Amino acid sequence: MTRVSRRRLLGTGALTAAGAAVSAAAAPSAAARTAPLGTDVVIVGAGLAGLTAARDLVAAGRSVLVLEARERPGGRVYGLPLGDGTTSEGGAEFIGPTQDRIAALAKDMGVATFATYNEGKNVYYRDGKRSLYATDGVLGAVPPDWGVLDLEVALLKLGDMIKEVPVGEPWKAAKAEEWDAQTFHTWSRSNALSGGARFLMDAFASATLSVRSQEISLLYLLNYAASAGNESTPGTIDRLIGTRGGAQESRFAGGSQEVPVRLAAKLGDIVRYDAPVRSIVTGSGGVTVTADGLTVSAKRVVVAMSPAVAGRIDYSPALPASRAQLMQRYPMGSIAKFVAVYDTPFWRADGLTGQAIADSGAIDATFDNSPPDGSRGILMGFMNQANVRGLDGASADRVRAAGLDSFTRLFGDRAALPKITAFQRWDNETWSGGGPVGVAPPGVLTAFGPALRAPCGPIHWAGTETSGYWTGYMDGAVRSGERVAREVDAAL
């Protein structure tokens, strides 16, 4: 990772590579507050959205400064240190078909992909019983009774509704009000009667969005699935949840963090770290953006992060209520990853993919996170929603015991003896507030949805939550950065 020292970042009155004049001060001074209009665009956030926007605006000849709160780029894309000099994906990890924009960016950065390990059977753990199912769909997980039919009928109904949702503008669906007035939980209880089908629909919400199905509107869920495609291929639930042919199909060689790390390195000194933005003041000539120890004036600002985290910045004058209240109503899920490293991927010899879903234990979904050559085995478990909140305040030992208890239940006794464990939770991260994505409870998309992307004067919004296709994913973040760069360039 490119690390820029804090001292270097705070060089007073530095002129950046792209020509942005910046005033700096350890404590805000009068000079800092009256910095001249020096840069065309300030971008707040060096996640994939902000970095992509910076790349495109620099290419368009604009002067740009990126202010990032953390000491690293990538935001929700992060290589979790394993303590032995290697990392495992602690945040975003997978890439799949139709995710064209993250694929193009990774190619530009020279980051290759490889297939997620997917040979054998998946583990299904429910009501204290462990069983195996074929990897070609969730239907194989339901006991072969009428529950299969029940789930199949519900999925067909969902599929029909998904086709009715205009991608990125779900509030324009003919039945938007009706679908936004109910939770996904309400809908699943009215449309599936078997325990197996209901469990799998809840597991779908938990594994995909890290929330309970009670927390999201049906319209939000339908839009999320509609967005899992591209301009020529409609989105489907199968593409969201699938490994082969779906969003979990491939991984990045060296870890997904290589993509933002290399992009940030290419952008160089225009990316400033340890610079959390506290306020954005709009005036007659543009905006004044104040970060810790740094004040910059610009013609336009891009806020590139989730609505919930954007809501922590102080805006003056106050934003229109549609935007201000959207930021109060678009919460993040609770998500963590627990990783265990073994000498070998022993589950492969047992005919298992390393993928599992479970209704109990701290981990409710797993993947094989081993390196491409299988030279050692890495199991990754998602701790989602109430499971991770159940570990609030837990010691590292308790977290480790909870994670290994789940792995042992799912993959046998050998899972109890890893060489290394590591844990990354996102809901306690100040600059993420949770993950993988902001979600909309009932009533939010229809009343506030258009405010996701609508600029507020010189303030523009990016971040995966604003994307039409692949909202919630790295691909959506890249698409949002490309869209906002076009928007800002046109406005300038």
Residue 40: count other Cβ atoms within 10 Å of its Cβ.
23
Pairing of strands 129-133, 335-342: unpaired
E strands in 319-431: 335-342, 352-358, 365-368, 377-384, 420-425
**Residues in contact with ligand FAD, total (CB under 6 A)?**
41
472 counts as binding ligand FAD under rule CB under 6 A: yes
- Residue identified by tokens 């336009």 is 300
The answer to whether the beta carbons of residues 117 and 345 sit under 8 Å apart is yes
423 counts as binding ligand FAD under rule CB under 6 A: no
Site string for ligand FAD, 25-64 (x = CB under 6 A): -------------------xxxxxxx--------------
Site string for ligand FAD, 249-278 (x = CB under 6 A): ---------------------------xx-
75 counts as binding ligand FAD under rule CB under 6 A: yes
Long-range contacts of 314-319, Cβ-Cβ distance < 8 Å, separation of 24 or more: 314/278, 314/279, 314/280, 315/279, 315/280, 315/282, 315/456, 315/459, 316/279, 316/280, 316/281, 316/282, 317/282, 319/456, 319/459
Q: CA–CA separation, 253 vs 230, rounded Å? A: 24
Q: CA–CA separation, 294 vs 101, rounded Å? A: 33
Please identify which residue in 10, 20, 42, 67 interacts with ligand FAD, judged by CB under 6 A: 67
Please identify which residue in 24, 35, 41, 94 interacts with ligand FAD, judged by CB under 6 A: 94
Phi, psi dihedrals of residue 207, rounded to the nearest 5°: -75, -25
363 counts as binding ligand FAD under rule CB under 6 A: no
Closest contact distance (angstroms) between CB of 190 and ligand FAD is 30
Q: Which is nearer to ligand FAD, 203 or 313 (CB)?
A: 313
432 counts as binding ligand FAD under rule CB under 6 A: yes
431 counts as binding ligand FAD under rule CB under 6 A: yes
Question: Which positions ≥6 away from 47 have C-beta within 8 Å?
Answer: 73, 74, 75, 76, 77, 260, 304, 305, 463, 477
Of 68-76, 153-161, 281-289, 438-446, the segment contacting ligand FAD by CB under 6 A is 68-76
Of 85-93, 144-152, 370-378, 389-397, the segment contacting ligand FAD by CB under 6 A is 85-93
Site string for ligand FAD, 286-325 (x = CB under 6 A): ------------------xxx--x---x------------
385 counts as binding ligand FAD under rule CB under 6 A: no
Q: CA–CA separation, 291 vs 369, rounded Å? A: 37
Q: Which residues bind ligand FAD (CB under 6 A)?
A: 44-50, 67-70, 75-77, 91-94, 276-277, 304-306, 309, 313, 335, 337, 426, 431-432, 435-437, 463-464, 472-477
